[in-house]
C-alpha cells in the first residue's frame, strides 16, 4: 500500500479526527504528540493485509500493534524522559510549566556544571581550577574510580575468559557442563550473596595473606577489581563461546598441517574469528563493572566510590537533577557501546556466513 492510499483509508480518517479532538480537548502540544504517536504508529505499521481480511481482523491487528507500540514506549520512554529533565533549571525531578511551554529560561546547564563543581574546594577560583576539579570534584573522582576499576577488571575477565572459552568450545572438553555452570554462576548468584561473601572473605579471611594487603582486600581497589572481574567473566564466556559455535575445528588442523605452530595458528586463524566476540564480551564486562553497585557498597570505602555508588547515595538521601545529568551522559555512552556491539555482531555473523547482513 502506498502512503497516499494509506492516507485515504477509513482508519486514517478516524485517527485524524481523534487527534484533532484530543488536541482541542487538552490544548497541549506534548499531549497531542504523544497521542498521535501511540495511535498513529500502529496505523502506519499495519502493512499488507490480505484483501479478504475481515473488519474484525483489521481491528484486531490494529489493537495488537497499538499494544506493541505502547510496550516499546514503556521500554524507552523512562530512559528518554530523563534527558530533557536533566536540563531543568529548577532543582526538581519533574517538568516545570516553563519547560512544557518550551521557555528557554526554564532550561539550563547548571546540573552539568554541578557534576564538575560539586565537592570542589574552590569552584569559583580561576587559578588551579582544573587541578582542583580533577582531584576533588566528587563526580569526577567517582568517574575516575569507575573507569579505572572497569578497565582493569575487564582486561582480567577478557584475558582469562577468552582462554577458558577456547577450552570450553573444544569438542574434547571434559566436564563441559559442570565447568560452564561454574563459570556462569557469578551472573546467576544474587549480587547481595556474592557481595556478602566477598565482604567476609576479602575483608576478614584474607587478612595477612597477600603482601602489601595485610588488612585484607576490603576498601581497596584490588578487591573491587577482583570482584568486578568475576562478575564480568560470564559475559566474556558467553559471547566468545557464541562466536566459536560452528567454528570449524578442522581449520586448526589445516593450519597445523600447513606447518603453522601453535602461536601462529592462534594469531592467524583463531584470533580473527573470535576478536568480535572478545570485544563484545569485553564491552559487556566493562559495562557490567561500570554499572555494578552492590559489591561497591559492600567492599568500597569513600575513596573508591564509583559513579553508580554515588548515584545510589544521591537517590537515597538528596535527590538532585545532577543525578539526571550524570544519567544522561551514561545513556549516551550506552548508546555508543550498544552501536559498537551491534556492528561487531553483524560483522561476526557476516564473517561466519550466518546472516545475510
Partner 1 sequence: MSDATLDMPVGGTAQRAGNEPLVAADGTPLKQKLAQTTRRMKLRALMLTMPLVLFVLIAFVAPIGDMLFRSLYNPTGSNVVPAFAEAIQQWDGQDLPSEETVKIFVEDLAKARRSREIGRTVGNLATRLNYELPGYRSLVTKTARRAARITEGPYKEALFAIDKRWEERIVWTTLQRITKDYTLAFYLAATDRKYDADGSIVQADELYRIYVPILWKTIWVSALITALCFIIAYPVSYLLSTLPLRISNLLMILVLLPFWTSLLVRTSAWIAMLQTEGVVNNIFVYLGIITDESRIQMIYNLQGTIIAMVHILLPFMILPLYSVMKTIPPSYMRAARSMGASGTYAFMRVYFPQTVPGIAAGTLLVFILAIGYYITPALVGGNDGLLISNLIADHIKKTLNWSLGAALGTILLVVVLVFYWLYNKLVGVDNLKFG
Partner 2 sequence: MKLKNMLLGTVFGAAVAFGATAAMADGHAKELTVVSWGGAYTKSQVEAYHKPFIEETGIQIKSEDYNGGIAEIKAQVEAGNVTWDIVDVELSDAVRACDEGLIEPLDPSILPAGADGTPAQEDFLEGTLHECAVANIVWSTIFSYDTTKITGDVPTTMADFFNTEKWPGKRGLRKGAKVNLEFALIADGVPAAEVYDVLATPEGVDRAFAKLDTIKDDVVWWEAGAQPPQLLADGEVLMTTAYNGRIFNAVAGEGKPFEIVWDGQVWDLDLWVIPKGAKNKEAAMEFLKFSTATEQLAAQASYISYGPARKSSAPLVGKFHNADIDMGPQMPTAPENLTNAVQNNFEFWADNADQLNERFNAWLAG
Can you tell me which of 145, 180, 255, 348 binds partner 1, judged by CB under 8 A? 180
Binding-site string for partner 1 from residue 315 to residue 334, where x marks contact by CB under 8 A and - marks none: xx--x---xx--x--xx--x
The three cell numbers locating residue 94: 519533574
The three cell numbers locating residue 5: 492510499
Among the residue ranges 4-12, 167-175, 289-297, 301-309, the one whose residues contact partner 2 (CB under 8 A): 301-309
Give the ranges where the chain is alpha helix by DSSP (H): 3-8, 10-26, 29-45, 55-85, 97-100, 110-117, 129-136, 138-168, 176-188, 191-200, 221-244, 250-257, 262-264, 271-291, 294-299, 307-316, 322-351
CA distance 354 to 357: 9
Classify burial at 276, counting beta carbons within 10 Å of its beta carbon; exposed 0-12, middle 13-18, buried 19 or more. Answer: buried
Binding-site string for partner 2 from residue 303 to residue 332, where x marks contact by CB under 8 A and - marks none: x------------xxx--------------
Can you tell me which of 225, 240, 285, 293 binds partner 2, judged by CB under 8 A? 225
Does position 267 interact with partner 1 (CB under 8 A)? The reply is no
Nearest distance, CB of residue 123 and partner 1, angstroms = 24
Nearer to partner 2, 69 or 158 (CB): 158
The three cell numbers locating residue 81: 524522559
Can you tell me which of 52, 74, 130, 263 binds partner 1, judged by CB under 8 A? 74
Which of partner 1, partner 2, none is residue 267 near (CB under 5 to 8 Å by kind)? partner 2
Binding positions for partner 1, 24-43, rule CB under 8 A: 26, 28, 31
Residue 159 contacts residue 153 (beta carbons within 8 Å): no
Binding positions for partner 2, 187-216, rule CB under 8 A: 203-204, 207, 212-216
* Residue 107: φ, ψ to 5°: -105, 145
Does position 268 interact with partner 2 (CB under 8 A)? The reply is yes
Q: Please, which residues have CB within 8 angstroms of residue 329's CB and are 6 or more apart in sequence? A: 115
For residue 246, give the nearest of 353, 161, 173 by alpha carbon. Answer: 353
Which of partner 2, partner 1, none is residue 189 near (CB under 5 to 8 Å by kind)? partner 1
The three cell numbers locating residue 28: 497541549
Binding positions for partner 1, 148-177, rule CB under 8 A: 156, 160-161, 163-164, 166-168, 170, 172-177
Does position 267 interact with partner 2 (CB under 8 A)? The reply is yes
The residues of the shown chain that bind partner 2, judged by CB under 8 A, are 148, 151-152, 155-156, 158-159, 203-204, 207, 212-216, 218-222, 225, 267-268, 271-272, 275, 282, 301-303, 316-318
Amino acid at each position: 500500500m502506498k502512503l497516499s492510499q494509506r492516507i485515504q483509508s477509513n482508519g486514517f480518517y478516524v485517527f485524524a479526527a481523534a487527534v484533532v479532538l484530543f488536541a482541542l480537548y487538552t490544548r497541549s502540544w506534548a499531549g497531542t504528540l504523544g497521542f498521535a504517536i501511540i495511535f498513529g504508529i500502529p496505523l502506519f505499521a499495519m502493512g499488507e493485509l490480505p484483501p479478504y481480511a475481515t473488519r474484525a481482523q483489521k481491528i484486531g491487528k490494529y489493537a495488537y500493534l497499538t499494544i506493541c507500540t505502547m510496550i516499546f514506549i514503556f521500554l524507552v520512554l523512562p530512559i528518554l524522559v530523563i534527558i530533557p529533565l536533566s536540563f531543568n533549571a529548577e532543582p526538581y525531578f519533574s517538568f516545570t510549566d516553563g519547560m512544557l511551554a518550551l521557555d528557554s529560561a526554564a532550561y539550563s546547564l547548571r546540573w552539568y556544571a554541578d557534576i564538575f563543581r560539586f565537592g570542589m574546594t574552590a569552584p569559583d577560583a580561576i587559578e588551579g581550577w582544573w587541578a582542583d576539579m580533577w582531584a576533588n570534584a566528587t563526580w569526577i573522582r567517582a568517574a575516575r574510580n569507575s573507569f579505572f576499576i572497569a578497565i582493569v577488571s575487564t582486561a582480567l575477565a577478557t584475558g582469562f575468559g577468552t582462554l577458558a572459552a577456547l577450552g570450553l568450545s573444544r569438542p574434547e572438553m571434559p566436564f563441559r557442563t559442570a565447568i560452564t555452570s561454574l563459570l556462569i554462576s557469578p551472573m546467576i548468584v544474587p549480587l547481595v550473596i556474592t557481595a556478602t561473601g566477598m565482604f567476609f572473605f576479602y575483608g576478614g579471611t584474607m587478612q595477612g595473606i597477600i603482601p602489601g594487603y595485610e588488612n585484607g582486600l576490603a576498601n581497596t581497589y584490588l578487591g573491587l577489581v577482583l570482584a568486578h572481574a568475576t562478575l564480568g567473566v560470564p559475559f566474556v564466556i558467553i559471547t566468545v563461546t557464541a562466536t566459536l559455535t560452528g567454528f570449524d575445528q578442522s581449520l586448526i588442523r589445516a593450519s597445523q598441517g600447513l606447518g603453522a605452530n601453535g602461536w601462529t595458528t592462534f594469531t592467524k586463524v583463531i584470533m580473527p574469528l573470535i576478536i568480535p566476540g572478545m570485544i563484545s564480551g569485553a564491552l559487556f564486562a566493562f559495562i557490567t563493572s561500570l554499572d555494578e553497585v552492590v559489591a561497591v557498597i559492600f567492599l568500597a570505602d569513600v575513596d573508591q566510590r564509583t559513579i553508580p555508588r554515588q548515584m545510589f547515595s544521591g537517590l537515597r538521601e538528596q535527590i538532585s537533577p545532577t543525578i539526571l545529568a550524570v544519567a544522561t551522559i551514561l545513556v549516551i555512552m550506552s548508546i555508543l557501546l550498544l552501536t559498537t556491539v551491534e556492528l561487531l555482531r553483524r560483522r561476526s555473523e557476516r564473517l561466519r556466513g550466518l546472516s545475510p547482513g
